[in-house]
Amino acid sequence: MTKSTFERYGGFGSISKVVSSFYDKVLDSPELSKYFENIDMRRQIDHQTKFIASLMGGPASYSNQELERAHARFTITRAEFDEMMELLQETLEDFDLNDEDVNEVVQNFNNRVNFVVRH
Ligand code: HEM
């Protein structure tokens, strides 16, 4: 059986390092950090954990409807979304995922743009 990217890169143990690094970049970004200012820690961790799973086809993925609900109260622009995808790509490259895997993960996220960005 084909293993998911999540499994091939070591499951939660190693992937959580990737996600922490991604999240650090997001919080360092002047455009993106504002969205997380009033979000409590528990929710940040939840966000992060769900990102991990969704990043790579791991367990506990969620529906487009849930994604839409989670972001509905924000006004996330396409530019902000793209900025986040840049940071995601950078992070995955930092952690030596191969190009094919990086593209697959970024593609998965890009496919969801309409459930996150305000339109
Ligand atoms: C395809 C891209 C994205 C995915 C897959 C994603 C995924 C998620 C998930 C799973 C949650 C948690 C929902 C829950 O707690 O039920 C969440 C929450 C959140 N997301 Fe995203 N997200 C994406 C893009 C973005 C972008 C571009 C921003 C900001 C610029 C953002 C900001 C937030 C914030 C602030 C929360 C916390 C909401 C709250 O606690 O009320 N997300 N996201």
Question: How is the chain split into domains, by residue range?
Answer: 11-116
Structure confidence at residue 59 (pLDDT): 67
The Å distance, Cα 1 to ligand 1 centre, comes to 31
Give tens-digit pLDDT for 26-42: 999 999 999 999 888 88
Q: Residue 100 in contact with residue 56, Cβ under 8 Å?
A: no
Give tens-digit pLDDT for 68-118: 999 999 999 999 999 999 999 999 999 989 999 999 999 989 999 999 998
Query: Ligand 1, closest atom to CA 31?
Result: 30
End-to-end CA, the chain: 39
Chain centre to alpha carbon of residue 81: 10
Does the domain at residues 11-116 carry the CATH identifier 1.10.490.10?
A: yes
Cα separations in angstroms, 114 against 9, 13, 33, 92, 119: 28, 31, 21, 23, 8
Residue in 22, 47, 62, 69 to alter for ligand 1 test, most ligand atoms within 8 A of Cβ:
47
pLDDT of 14 > 70? The answer is yes
Residue in the block written with tokens 């143990």: 13
